[in-house]
Amino acid sequence: MMKLIYRIAKAELRMLFCSPVAWFLLVIFTLQTAMYFTGRYEWFMKGNEYGSGRTMMASMSLFANGIWGIVQNYLYYYIPLLTMGLISRELSSGSIKLLYSSPIRNSQIILGKFLSMVIYAALMCGILLLYVVYAAFTVENFELPVVLVGLLGLFLLTCTYVAVGIFVSSLTSYQFVAAIGTFIILMLLSMVGGWWQEYDIIRDVTYWLSINGRASTFIMGMLCSEDVLYFPVVTVLFLFLTVVRLNAVRQKVRWQVSFGRYMAVILIACTIGYFSSRPKLMGYYDASSTKWNTLTPHSQDIVSKLDGGLTITAYVNILGPNYQMFAFPDFIQRNREQFKLYERFKPEMKLKVVYYYDTITSADGVYGETFAERLASKNQTVHQAAKKMCELFQLDTVYRVLSPEKIRKIANLEGERTFAWELVRESGERAWLRTYDDPMQPFPGEAEMSAAMKRMTLEVPKIGFVKGYGMRSIHDTKTRGYHFFAYKKDFRQALVNQGFETVEIDLENGIPSDVNIVTIADMREPFTENEEQVLAKYIERGGNLYILGEPRRRDVMNPLLNKYFGVELLEGTLVQYRLEWLQPDILNCMITPMAREFSYYFGLANGVMLPTAAGLEQVADRGFKVTPVLVSDTLNIQRKENRSYAVWNEMESLDYVEERLTLNPAKGEVAKDYCTGMALTRMVNGKEQRVMILGDADCISNGEITEGRSQTNFIMDLGTFHWLSNNELPIDVRRPGTTDNRVDIGRYGFYVMNWGFKWIIPLLLAGAGIVLWIRRRSK
């Protein structure tokens, strides 16, 4: 049997390579890929000559994000042209009857022709392999396993395309019709993933049948059993369909019988596909050196602690302004993709999507006002608006969309901005996960998802914000409040979205034992004796603190700061004429190298902006080790303009509109470098106590964050809380960087490579095709 298959494949290859089409496509394929590949190397060569010579993730740049994507798109056009005549040519010429009269089975004919095209596909991949070999010798620490996995995916994709082309070619005697038909079938395979998504089991089957993104998993260096099985199963499916088709023609089988055989073959393939896509039956291999297709170790550790069942329910208000992002039924599979990395390590998790309609209240922010205005302008009730939406999006209001009365019995969704996930463990623990007001990436990332899961497994750090005395409140949505940074649910960097629990505490009632961090911000009046004793006991037991001062609160806060920490706020407000557009009392401060060792967050920003800040000074030793965290920036200025960058403590008026501020030493104003942030540490009961003191309380206020003068202020404060929580939260989802950051290519080497790939190899292929064509013509 194998001998016959080999002979058919050999004959088919001889016919293929004696025609100009096969050689022409090979030459065009080589030229297209070579132009992109050499173009990337030209960029690397210029970087070596005129730049630092370093690049980021060269392997990905060349292949996964480069040539593999180009090839994946090209194959869609090449394969139909190659396969259009495999069977249709035999049908149109009548030679199929000679094959029928010989002792050869239809399966052998099909496998022989398929083998010939597999060899041709291997030749195309062989050309691509030349690029891989060249890159392996020129890219430092080349990601060879990732690139080879990507090449495997392209080969399997080509084989599947070939099987589709063979099947379509068996349906008609016209080669042009066969090519168009192959395009159509491939297009349908790309579209089928969105069909019948409203039906549970059918949704899983059609989503599995979709060829979209299958090779992309390989290209990113990931072997998933679902995708590895997909290509052979679909390839065999279309080969079997071709055999059924030829048997029907050869044996003159009734169409009802052929139809039944078609359905049986499709049903078997779909059954295999359905079970291969079950999370519990899937296996994975991440070929990347840094495991970028896998959860980070911290996230894996959190998931491993989620014993028992886990149900994640997405609640979607169809009246929400962003409903199209979560529209039924497309979002159901998008929801699964969102948790795919976690499903790998907890395959028993259950994902649900619940659609409902309800009033959007003021707790949902500006949505509440616009929603009420919209209903009023259209003279609609909530029920009428929901009915209109259901008609527009073809939703079933009886079974699919829950009424306000029903949804309120299931979950309390007030303030969740019309969409949220609720995570519920089998043991009863619950947590919320949200989307964010970020047009580029509204969905949560690994840090936010792992933080939500951690809230259900461990006691997360609880931050107590001291209330009263005019201090900043996490519930205050005005300019000076801390609601945005601490509690705003659609702000990704809000503490509540990074896993922290935030509460306000009254010192008169004591500090709860489960509070790990106490925050005192902009204290306007001295504490009572009882309140100070409560705070003193907290400090004595080694509790961590975050204290934010203001220049105008110096008289109130200095006695407290001096008594317990030996630190004082300096007189005056720090000013600096740094940039023309920047107010002089908005100070640009640099994060010190010592602070970068406290938290990786401090390494993500060079500096922060502090509006109306006071300098800090250690005036006594209270047993703490003091480390500067923020310092004014006068030494790192690169621009040398004709103005002073000095920082001084302005003691007089801050009215800089009418007249420029000037240094006045007679009033006690001193120009120097100032420290505006200090970290204090000491050992208490075998544990390191950590205290952060800032000379400004506005840096994380609602007004400053929304003003957008600095994109790093919230990074500084996330780093502070990361350090104060003993580096527990936010979740560290960093990965080690790849080391393929240099490409060894010079100008001469580039010219040789450029000529070799863009001219010599295509000319050799074209020459071989011409020689064979001339020899055939001569015979």
Domains assigned to the chain: 2-16+62-289 (no CATH), 297-433 (no CATH), 459-724 (3.40.50)
Amino acid at 480: R
Strand, coil or helix: 316: strand
Q: Which residues contact 603 (CB under 8 A, 6 or more apart)?
A: 596
∠ CA 236-240-242 to the nearest 5 degrees? 120
Whole-number Cα distances in Å, 739 to 55, 219, 588, 611: 10, 19, 34, 40
Which residue's structure tokens are 């992002």? 325
Q: What is the pTM of this model?
A: 0.87
Q: Which two tokens stand for residue 217?
A: 């998993």
pLDDT score recorded for residue 417: 74
Distance CA 511, CA 523 (A): 17
Distance CA 164, CA 185 (A): 7
pLDDT score recorded for residue 93: 62
What are the tens digits of pLDDT across the range 378-403?
A: 888 888 888 888 888 888 765 688 98
Burial class (CB in 10 A: 0-12, 13-18, 19+), 44: buried
225, 96 contact by CB (below 8 A) = no
Q: Taking all residues of the chain, what is their mean pLDDT, rounded to a whole number?
A: 87
| Cα-to-chain-centroid distance, residue 145 | 22
Under DSSP, the state recorded for 54 is: B
Q: Which two tokens stand for residue 543?
A: 């509790």
Write the DSSP assignment of 664-690 as a string of letters: -GGGT--BS--EEEEEEEEEETTEEEE
Under DSSP, the state recorded for 497 is: G
Residue 151 pLDDT > 70, yes or no? yes
Residue 535 pLDDT > 80, yes or no? yes
211, 190 contact by CB (below 8 A) = yes
Whole-number Cα distances in Å, 265 to 15, 231, 235, 650: 31, 16, 12, 84
Q: Which two tokens stand for residue 7?
A: 């002979």
Residue 251 pLDDT > 70, yes or no? no
Under DSSP, the state recorded for 67 is: I
pLDDT band at 661 (very low <50, low <70, confident <90, very high): confident
410, 402 contact by CB (below 8 A) = yes
Distance CA 136, CA 220 (A): 17
pLDDT band at 712 (very low <50, low <70, confident <90, very high): confident
Q: Which two tokens stand for residue 25?
A: 């496509």
Distance CA 287, CA 207 (A): 25
709, 579 contact by CB (below 8 A) = no
Phi, psi dihedral angles at 64 (to 5 degrees): -55, -45
Residue 775 pLDDT > 80, yes or no? no
pLDDT score recorded for residue 665: 87
